Amino acid sequence: AQSVAQPEDQVNVAEGNPLTVKCTYSVSGNPYLFWYVQYPNRGLQFLLKYITGDNLVKGSYGFEAEFNKSQTSFHLKKPSALVSDSALYFCAVTPRGRGGSYIPTFGRGTSLIVHP
Amino acid sequence: DAGVIQSPRHEVTEMGQEVTLRCKPISGHDYLFWYRQTMMRGLELLIYFNNNVPIDDSGMPEDRFSAKMPNASFSTLKIQPSEPRDSAVYFCASSHRQGSNQPQHFGDGTRLSIL
């Protein structure tokens, strides 16, 4: 069975400082990896994904994520945090393949709070 | 593209009443998902459809919950009778060619409160 772990319920960072939101996963084979962001009273929005190739993936709003196969991790990063980045962040993993059984598994989410 | 549209955005009703949540997926998407989000349990997949056919409803908590997708542009999630523990935010999401590298697109949810 596949699983996703986001070990931190909350991450606090000062505006202008770099941020990291951690994600590790357990799935057979080479999965597709995703990050989503959820702002208050909104649905989840896609940020970025890893498919193949370069381990550093760039996404929306200046976010990037680093895929590490040996550590089965896909940490979300941003060089300089903004107060407006404060939100709930979800990591998700989908096994590769075709067919309806390949649905994503989501982590429990990490609340990012950026202090002015 | 208008995105995934859910209605109502908020619903407050008394225990025992029937509740119907509605979803319009993105045109052309062939997968539709219903999720429930609570503080205690996080994001839970309830059921998903492929080409309007229910594929996996193992996440539906009880027989009080039912979901239908009569056509490619409309789905409902019904709770009858509703109970206070059903209070949560319910999301609908759609995607294209699930199992590939395509992300899911979420609606803004229905916040359900059962008194």
List CB contacts (< 8 A) between B98 and chain A: 100, 102-103
List CB contacts (< 8 A) between A106 and chain B: 42-43
Question: 3-state SS of A54-80?
Answer: CCEEECHHHCEEEEECCCCEEEEEECC
CA angle A80, A85, A89 (to 5 degrees): 115
Q: β-pairing, B88-95 with B74-79?
A: unpaired
Chain A, residues 48-77, CB within 8 A of chain B, namely 49, 51
CA A57 to chain CA centroid, nearest Å: 11
Q: How many CB atoms lie within 10 A of CB A81?
A: 21
pLDDT at B89 over 60: yes
Distance from CA of A78 to the nearest CA of B (A): 21
List CB contacts (< 8 A) between A42 and chain B: 108-109
How would residue A95 be classed by pLDDT, with cut points 50, 70 and 90? confident
Residues of B with CB under 8 A from a CB of A: 4, 31, 33, 42-43, 45, 48, 50, 55-56, 91, 93, 98-101, 103-109, 111
Contact status, residue A110 vs residue A9, Cβ threshold 8 Å: yes
Rounded to an integer, what distance in angstroms lies between the CA atom of residue A45 and that of residue A24?
Answer: 20
pLDDT at A101 over 80: no
- SS3 percent helix, strand, coil of chain A, rounded to 5, is 5, 50, 45
How would residue B102 be classed by pLDDT, with cut points 50, 70 and 90? confident
Which pLDDT value is given to residue A1? 75
Which of these, B55, B16, B15, B61, lies nearest to B35 by C-alpha position? B61
Per DSSP, what are the bridge partners of residue B24? Answer: B5
Summarised one tens digit per residue, pLDDT across range B47-86 is 999 999 999 999 998 899 999 999 999 999 999 999 999 9
Q: Do B106 and A41 touch (CB under 8 A)?
A: no
Q: How many beta-carbon contacts under 8 Å exist across A and B? A: 62
Residue in the block written with tokens 């960072």: A13
Summarised one tens digit per residue, pLDDT across range A16-57 is 999 999 999 998 777 899 999 999 999 999 999 998 888 999
Contact status, residue A66 vs residue A59, Cβ threshold 8 Å: no
Average pLDDT over residues A70-92: 97
Summarised one tens digit per residue, pLDDT across range B17-31 is 999 999 999 999 999
Using a CB–CB cutoff of 8 Å, tell me whether A44 touches chain B.
yes
Q: Do A102 and B98 touch (CB under 8 A)?
A: yes
List CB contacts (< 8 A) between A101 and chain B: 55-56, 99
pLDDT at A103 over 90: no
How would residue B1 be classed by pLDDT, with cut points 50, 70 and 90? low
Which pLDDT value is given to residue A98? 56
Exposed / middle / buried, residue B72 (Cβ in 10 Å: 0-12, 13-18, 19+): middle
Which of these, A27, A26, A103, A93, lies nearest to A65 by C-alpha position? A93
Which pLDDT value is given to residue A14? 98
B24 versus A3: the higher-pLDDT residue is B24
Which of these, B37, B110, B33, B108, lies nearest to B75 by C-alpha position? B33
